[in-house]
């Protein structure tokens, strides 16, 4: 019998430095395949075998990180995410 999978939010925190406005710092033509490559690399480097991963790139002001993680979980899991 297969065990029930549970989802846990995680964050990779970094900084980028630019003299441009934030809106002009990111590429607009990112392909889904590009994000899949990044996702696969993170999965391979950080997680053990058997762990699935979903990522979504966005900039979050520091005082809004908790809310952003909840929104990401809701977007991925349709609001069925367990707290804890």
Q: Write the pLDDT tens digit of every residue in 14-32.
A: 778 889 988 888 888 989 8
Q: Write the pLDDT tens digit of every residue in 43-69.
A: 999 999 989 888 877 777 778 878 877
Residue 43 lies in a domain: yes
Residue 18 lies in a domain: no
DSSP-H helix ranges across 1-84 = 32-46, 65-77
Does this model's pTM top 0.85? My answer is no
| 7 backbone φψ class: left, alpha, beta (φ>0; ψ -120 to 50) | beta
Residues 34, 41: Cα–Cα separation, whole Å: 11
A 10 A CB-CB count for 73 gives 19
Task: Quote the domain boundaries for residue 39.
Answer: 29-77
Residue 40 lies in a domain: yes
Where b means 16+ CB within 10 Å and e means fewer, 11-30 reads: eeeeeeeeeeeeeeeeeeee
81: pLDDT strictly greater than 70: no
């Amino acid at each position: 019998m297969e065990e029930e999978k549970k989802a846990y939010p995680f964050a990779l925190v970094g900084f980028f430095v630019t003299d441009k406005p934030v809106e002009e710092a990111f590429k607009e033509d990112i392909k889904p395949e590009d994000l899949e490559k990044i996702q696969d690399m993170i999965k391979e480097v950080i997680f053990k075998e058997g762990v699935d991963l979903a990522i979504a790139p966005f900039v979050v002001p520091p005082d809004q990180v908790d809310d952003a993680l909840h929104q990401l979980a809701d977007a991925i899991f349709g609001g069925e995410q367990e707290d804890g």
